[in-house]
Structure 1
Amino acid sequence: MKKKEAILKIATVLFANKGFAGTSVQEISRLTGAAEGTIFYHFKSKEGLLLTILERTRETIVNQFEDFYRDRGFESGMAMVEETVSFFLYLAGLMEDHFLLLHRHDLYKFAETNLEFREHLEAIYNCLVDFFERGVAEGRRDGSISTEVHPRKSALIIYTMVDGLVRFKNYNLYDAGALFNELLQSCRRMLQANVR
């Protein structure tokens, strides 16, 4: 593994588990074997390293979802929503440190004062909500989801429910898998609430 990739990987784990303030460049250097100067050469600053991780996180999530959707025929928009929920949970397990990082409070403190952090976080969350919105919009077209359901607002609610389960799992608060069927039932009820 190249030094730059090793730095990104180790820094992601450290930032996710210890927070930005709790992680030093010296620790990243020690764990990767890369000199501090090498880290600054590649990323300019500790903040630059975190921004690169956020950018890579978004790219990976988008690529994973696009691969998932590619050449996949969904029975209906509702089926697309349900499979997107399943894939999101799978991806959150596969990219556990990245999702744990996205749940860290320090990212949002940076976003309050740093436009670049805010734009990166918004891009990540917008792309995640977009995936759910695709299914809702398709379901409205094919009749599997009520036309009275607002695609974006419904997608935001679904995302919030699914991401809440990911938080439970990442913080070892509850067995998120035990709620999977109830999560899908809740999504169905919400999306068909006004169908008569």
Structure 2
Amino acid sequence: MKKKEAILKVATVMFANKGFVDTSGQELARMTGVAEGTIFYHFGSKEGLLLAILEKTRDEIVDQFEQFFENRPFASGLEMIEEVVAFHLYLAGLMEDKFLLLHRHFLYKFSESNQGFRQNLEAIYNCLVDIFEKAIATGRADGSISQDVNPRKSALILFTMVDGLVRFKNYNLYDAGALFNELMAMCRRMLRAECHDPSI
């Protein structure tokens, strides 16, 4: 692993778990086996390092969802929603430290004064919400999702539900897996078109 990649990997874990202020350049250097000056050579500052992590996280999340959708047929928009919710939860487990970092308050404080942070955070959340919105629009078109459902607002509500479950899991407050079936049932009740078949 190259030095720059090693620094990004270790710093992601440390920022996510210890926070920004409590992670020192000296500690990062010790954990990655490089001189502290090497970190500043590659990233300019600790804030620059955090921004590089955020950019990498954005790229990885977008790429993972693009791969997920590649050559994947869905029977309906409602099925697409169910698959997206399940994949989002899977991805949050796969990239646990990165999703934990996205729940850290200091990122949003930086975004108030640093356009780079704001743009990357917006890109991540827009990517996720847009996917939900696309699935809802598809479902409205194919009849599996009610015409009464507002695609954007409902996408935001769905994302908030799923992201809240991820937060529960990341902070060890509740077993997210125990709520999975109820989450899926809630999504169906919230979105689906009226159906008289009690088995659905």
Question: TM class, shorter-chain normalised?
Answer: over 0.9
Query: 1:157-196 residue pairs with structure 2 within 5 A?
Result: 157-192=157-192, 195=194
Describe the superposition over 1:71-101 as per-residue Cα deviations: whole angstroms up to 9, x where unpaired. 0000100000000000000000000000000
**Is 1:107 the counterpart of 2:110 in the alignment?**
no
Aligned to 1:60: 60
- Show structure 2 runs of 5+ residues with no match: 196-200
The answer for the alignment partner of 1:24 in structure 2 is: 24
> TM-score, length-normalised on structure 1?
0.96
CA distance in 2, matches of 1:189, 1:26: 52
Aligned to 2:14: 14
Root mean square deviation of aligned Cα: 1.1
What pairs up with 1:134-153 in 2 under 5 angstroms?
134-153=134-153
The aligned counterpart of 2:86 is 86
Letter of the structure 1 residue corresponding to residue 133 of structure 2: E
Deviations 1:108-148 (A, max 9, x none): 11112222211111111111111111211110111101122
Distance (whole Å) between structure 2 residues aligned to residue 160 and residue 101 of structure 1: 17
TM-score by length of 2: 0.94
Q: Identity, % of aligned pairs?
A: 73
Q: Any gaps of 5 or more consecutive residues in structure 1?
A: none
- Report the number of matched residues: 195
1:175 Cα offset (Å): 0.6
Residue 155 of structure 2: aligned partner: 155
Amino acid at match of 2:11: A
Whole-Å Cα distance in 1 between the matches of residues 168 and 122 of structure 2? 22
How many Å separate the matches in 2 of 1:128 and 1:34?
A: 36
Deviating 4+ runs (over 4 angstroms): none
Aligned equivalent of 2:198? none
